[in-house]
């Protein structure tokens, strides 16, 4: 049986042995290979399908890995992984113990820079290009960035600096008019006008001292290769504008680009999504947030919704549909989202600023300087807190409890279930003296009948869930449900502390006086998080109880299902049960 061309490609060196007329067939095979694997193993589909021709062209024209290619975000790097020696391992992509879903330096010399968050590629490639210039090395540095990512502030910062250097930098804009959701903002309109030939203003990239080329069809392999070959001989910072189609080669993925960004399992031949199970399931926390926000916004005209490029992922889309003039997708701009919310709060509006936990890291100074310092009542809703699963270390919401706990004036709350999320949202919009961060996990809650009447929560108050004797377990957030399962009939007390800040010190006084051993459980980093807060309390009040803190260890956690990851670090129900038994 004749081998597919793709089966002969183990490195880019193999790729460069092919004749130009063989490359379209390779593109077809590579595209089908991605579709076939992702159909059963799941992953980020649309972005990688859209850059198949570009991926082949880059490795065909440039001497990788000596010449470096950086894939911004990394959603688009599946083809790159497959033709750089990882074809036979690609079925393990995003799996526990397998390949990362994103470029990762430890994984391959062809992964020049680790990328999971957007808009970092230009800065990283420029740093490498400056290093090459200082060392007298003649090599190429390519950053591939999408039209949603290039609107981010950090991308502009990189472009602004690169334009006054004479480095060998090539920025390739993969322009498909969509990130996860459709791109937004004035730059999107500018790029649309460029593609239509109706742009009247000066070229923005030429104004930043880049040699601009394009736009060209990113699926015309011959044209892309010819342009890359030509650009190799041009000195200084260069900008190539490619027009691509996200999901190219799978009709449904081209038609519904939002859903097929990461579609789950689907039929590789027809593209039809696999049917979901019919039996009733608890809602996703993001949907509880989205529907509750609409419910509250109907009652309170001052409520505003804000998200940086995640209206579908955060479920702010429900409010955007119901109240389009009161809900804002600001694009990949977390810093702007936070300070925009702060500005609104000064005018008496009530902003719900929904940002994934891992992405709030990008706006830390704004949380401190623009919100907390001024005691502005911004309501931060931090989706994807804790372990998120297959997206791995770039996306785990591991650090929010630790990096927020040290910020003055900030309330931190973690709901154990859907009703608590609803109630804290209701409580927050009634009026607080400062900001609050509400952090909840990716995925489903635990309650089918969750849409109950609102109830105001007392700020800084925890609750007792179970009465025991010697040992007390203190938990915060959704992981409390795992603790409840772990404890079962064990004679152990269980408290849901709810608030990491302010701590319920009166409840802690009771716990420490009536139990010899205290165990804290959280799904955040053990360093500086909830457990640290309890230890600080004990030290402050001279308690000598035995205290054990369980949480995410002081290392980055790889990819895998949430249950696999919890089991690997002793945070699943079975491991917690065994650990508690040793204390009894």
Which is catalytic among the residues 42, 53, 227, 334?
334
Which is catalytic among the residues 95, 104, 188, 246?
246
Asked if 246 is an active-site residue, the reply is yes
The HSE-up count of residue 356 (CA atoms within 13 Å, CB side) is 24
Question: How many other C-beta atoms are found inside a 10 Å radius of the C-beta of residue 412?
Answer: 25
What is the spatial distance between Cα 168 and Cα 506, in angstroms, rounded to a whole number? Answer: 62
What is the spatial distance between Cα 492 and Cα 479, in angstroms, rounded to a whole number? Answer: 17
Asked if 19 is an active-site residue, the reply is no
What is the spatial distance between Cα 497 and Cα 481, in angstroms, rounded to a whole number? Answer: 13
Determine the angle formed by the axes of helices 479-487 and 573-583, rounding to 10 degrees.
60
The HSE-up count of residue 511 (CA atoms within 13 Å, CB side) is 32
What is the spatial distance between Cα 15 and Cα 476, in angstroms, rounded to a whole number? Answer: 52
* Widest distance between CA atoms in the chain: 79
What is the spatial distance between Cα 290 and Cα 303, in angstroms, rounded to a whole number? Answer: 13
Residue whose token pair is 């950090």: 154
What is the spatial distance between Cα 321 and Cα 305, in angstroms, rounded to a whole number? Answer: 12
Cα–Cα nearest to 239, from 274, 209, 199: 209
Which is catalytic among the residues 188, 362, 439, 442?
362
Cα–Cα nearest to 231, from 140, 95, 96, 122: 140
What is the spatial distance between Cα 411 and Cα 434, in angstroms, rounded to a whole number? Answer: 8
The HSE-up count of residue 60 (CA atoms within 13 Å, CB side) is 25
CB 493 within 8 A of CB 530: no
Asked if 334 is an active-site residue, the reply is yes
Sign of CA dihedral 123, 125, 128, 134: negative
Active site residues: 246, 334, 362
């Amino acid at each position: 049986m004749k081998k597919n061309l793709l089966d002969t490609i183990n490195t880019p060196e193999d790729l460069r042995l092919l004749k130009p007329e063989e490359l379209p067939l390779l593109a077809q095979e590579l595209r089908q290979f991605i579709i076939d694997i992702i159909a059963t193993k799941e992953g980020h589909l649309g972005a990688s399908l859209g850059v198949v021709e570009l991926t082949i062209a880059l490795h065909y024209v440039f001497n990788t890995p000596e010449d470096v290619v950086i894939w911004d975000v990394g959603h688009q790097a599946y083809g790159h992984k497959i033709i750089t020696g990882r074809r036979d391992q690609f079925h393990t992509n995003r799996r526990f113990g397998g390949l990362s879903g994103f470029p990762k330096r430890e994984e391959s010399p062809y992964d020049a820079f680790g990328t999971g968050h957007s808009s970092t590629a230009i800065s990283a490639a420029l740093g490498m290009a400056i290093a090459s210039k200082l060392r007298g090395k003649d090599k190429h540095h390519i950053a591939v960035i999408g039209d949603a990512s290039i609107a981010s502030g950090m991308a502009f910062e990189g472009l602004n600096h690169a334009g006054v250097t004479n480095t060998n930098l090539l920025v390739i804009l993969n322009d498909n008019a969509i990130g996860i959701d459709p791109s937004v903002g004035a730059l999107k309109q500018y790029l649309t006008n460029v593609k239509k030939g109706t742009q009247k203003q000066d070229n923005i990239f030429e104004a930043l001292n880049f040699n601009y080329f394009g736009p060209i069809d990113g699926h015309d392999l011959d044209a892309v290769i010819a342009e890359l070959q030509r650009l190799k001989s041009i000195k200084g910072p260069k900008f190539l504008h490619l027009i691509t189609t996200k999901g190219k080669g799978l009709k449904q993925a081209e038609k519904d680009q939002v859903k097929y960004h990461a579609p789950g399992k689907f039929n590789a031949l027809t593209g039809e999504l696999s049917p979901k199970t019919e039996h009733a399931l608890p809602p996703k926390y993001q949907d509880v947030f989205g529907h509750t926000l609409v419910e509250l916004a109907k009652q309170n005209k001052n409520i505003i919704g804000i998200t940086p490029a995640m209206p579908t992922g955060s479920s702010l889309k429900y409010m955007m549909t119901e109240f389009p003039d009161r809900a804002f997708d600001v694009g990949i701009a977390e810093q702007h989202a936070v300070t925009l919310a702060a500005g609104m709060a000064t005018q008496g509006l009530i902003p719900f600023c929904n940002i994934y936990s891992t992405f709030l890291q990008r706006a830390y100074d704004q949380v401190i300087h623009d919100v907390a310092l001024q005691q502005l009542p911004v309501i931060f809703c931090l989706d994807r807190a804790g372990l998120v699963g297959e997206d791995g270390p770039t996306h785990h919401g591991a650090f929010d409890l630790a990096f927020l706990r040290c910020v003055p004036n900030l309330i931190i709350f973690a709901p154990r279930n859907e009703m608590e999320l609803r109630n804290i949202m209701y409580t927050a919009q009634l009026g607080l003296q400062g900001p609050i961060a509400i952090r909840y996990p990716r995925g489903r809650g635990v309650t089918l009948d969750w849409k109950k009447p609102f109830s105001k929560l007392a700020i800084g108050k925890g609750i007792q869930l179970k009465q025991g004797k010697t040992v007390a377990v203190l938990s915060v957030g959704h992981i409390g449900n795992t603790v409840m399962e772990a404890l079962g009939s064990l004679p152990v007390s269980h408290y849901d502390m709810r608030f990491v800040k302010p701590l319920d010190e009166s409840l802690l006084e009771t716990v420490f006086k009536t139990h010899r051993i205290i165990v804290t459980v959280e799904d955040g980093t053990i360093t500086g998080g909830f457990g640290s807060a309890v230890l600080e309390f004990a030290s402050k009040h001279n308690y000598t109880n035995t205290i054990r803190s369980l949480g995410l260890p002081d290392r980055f956690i790889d990819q895998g299902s949430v249950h696999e990851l919890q089991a690997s670090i002793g945070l699943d129900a079975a491991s917690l049960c065994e650990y508690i038994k040793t204390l009894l």
